[in-house]
Amino acid sequence: MVTEPFLTVFTPTFNRAHTLPQLYASLCRQSCKSFIWLIVDDGSTDDTEVLVQSWVTEEHIGIRYYKQENGGKQRAHNTGVAHCETECFLCVDSDDYLVDDAVQILSDSWLKVRDNSSVSGIIAMHGINHNEPIGNFLPKEITFSPLTDLYRKHGFSGDTKLMFRTAILRQFPYEVVEGEKFIPENYAYLQIDQKYTMYLVHKIIGIGGYQEDGYSKSIHKVIYKNPKSYMKVKKLSMDLAPTSKYKFLNAINLLSAYFIVHQKERNFSWNGYTLAAYLPGFLLYMIRFKKYAHEV
């Protein structure tokens, strides 16, 4: 059993003083206390700071709190990784919480693969409740897999909780474009998957849904407001895609963002995939994004 803190539970937050208490309570209930809670406050204007400082004085769990100018979740993630002092790093959003034995499950599982340098971390499940995952269950026959292969090759369509080696995350920071605040999380995961695999834990360790004002509920509007960052991740996805099918599908998404920026900025070369994706990319732009033009 791990005795010293091996894990940083990282929470990026922005005006979530009303949801953080549920997460805090779940961390206090953990059967294994081998973790630090690291909060990066992304410029909240509510009572988040006062609330967190009251928990710090309670000393039920170790808490580290940092506040920065609002820059989006991925910049907050970079800050969290930079300040992390433990071997492993787990992101838990401010509107989610952990099951009571989540850290123990991760600790026990990590000891099985810790010495395997090809393993970047652990994939566990995220659920609506303790028994029902969001999406489907992890494929039972799979023990090791890169994250992208779970969706692409093994038919997984659910939500995950991801624990990574901190040292590996430091090698792949999020590169959010100046003037934007969002880039899809798989920007880092795609790069990690080129070199490493992950260990699957077939248990639900995190619980929560989607907030009405969160990224997931309004993802197309978020992309419209952050098109250059989206182009960056879709170009990476296209370049790293293992088959022509996935290269073409990513090219379509890439071109849809290209039309958002009115063709002023292009981060890709015209080739067979991008030329073939021109018309479907324009149609996707019209269907998904055109309606937001008057809001920006």
Three-state helix/strand/coil letters over 135-204: CCCCCCCCCEECHHHHHHCCCCCCCEEEEEEHHHHHHCCCCCCCCCCCCCCHHHHHHHHCCCEEEEEEEE
Tokens standing for residue 24:
């805090």
pLDDT band at 210 (very low <50, low <70, confident <90, very high): low
Helices 244-260 and 227-240 cross at an angle (nearest 10°) of 170
Q: What does the pLDDT look like over 108-123, one tens digit per residue? A: 999 999 999 999 999 9
Report the C-alpha gap between 119 and 191 in whole angstroms.
Answer: 14
**Predicted confidence band at 224 (pLDDT cuts at 50, 70, 90)?**
very high
Reduce the DSSP state of residue 294 to 3 states and report it: helix
Cα separation, 117 vs 133, in Å, equals 29
Residue 293 pLDDT grade (very low, low, confident, very high; cuts 50, 70, 90): confident
Q: Which of 81, 83, 105 is nearest to 200 (CA)?
A: 105
Beta bridge partners of 10: 38, 91
Q: Please, which residues have CB within 8 angstroms of residue 131's CB and are 6 or more apart in sequence?
A: 204
pLDDT value of residue 215: 55
| pLDDT number for residue 3 | 58
Give the global pTM: 0.93
